[in-house]
Amino acid sequence: MNTCIPLTRGLVALVDADDAVVLSAYRWHAIEAKPGLWYAARRARGRYIYMHREVLGHPDGLVDHRNGDGLDNRRANLRLANHALNNCNTRKRAGTTSRYKGVSRHRGAWRARITPPGGQQATLGRFESEAEAALAYDAAARRLFGRWARLNFPRAGEEAAA
């Protein structure tokens, strides 16, 4: 069963009922890491302690939210990560020329590009249609990122890029 923990700014964090007992003893704040990306945190000894790290008992490590929602702190949505893996699970960037992740308009065609974990950005090819380029990105992302991939055309159990 899920429980909502109230935060400042009228927001709530979603947690497992078992974790809510411990977490509800604190006053939690809504922290906007970047536009549209919120996390739950509490103040202790002059610094923020993030709820997702507290849930996993990993106070200084990187914790990834599978579905990209920083306020969904249910254990099934959290996993330990490193920076390279966490970057695999990013959404499509705002302001790009395409509606798809990893795709942009370039010299009259659609170009698909991807950055492997710890590597440099690679061009996957140029395509006549935006959807073809998105499918090329998805194929490469599945191969390179596996279960961490966030995709344009997700299959059952995969995460969407949008």
pLDDT tens readout for residues 126-152: 999 999 999 999 999 999 988 888 899
Q: What is the mean pLDDT of the chain?
A: 91
Q: Residue 34: what pLDDT?
A: 85
The residue ranges of every structural domain in the chain are 2-81, 91-160
pLDDT in tens, 54-110: 999 988 888 999 888 999 999 999 999 888 777 777 777 777 789 999 999 999 999
| Residue 98: other Cβ atoms inside 10 A | 20
Q: In terms of Cα–Cα distance, which of 150, 130, 127 is closest to 140?
A: 150
Q: What is the pLDDT of residue 71?
A: 97
Strand pairing report for 150-151 and 78-81: unpaired
pLDDT at 65: 93
Query: Which of 1.10.340.30, 3.30.730.10, 3.40.50.300, 3.40.640.10 is the CATH number of 91-160?
Result: 3.30.730.10
Evaluate whether 151 touches 135 at the Cβ level (below 8 Å): no
Closest CA to 51 of 14, 90, 89: 14
The pTM for the full model equals: 0.76
Which comes out higher in pLDDT, residue 154 or 161?
Answer: 154
What amino acid is encoded at 94 in this protein?
Answer: A
Give 61 or 33, the one with higher predicted confidence. 33
* Per-residue pLDDT, 36: 85
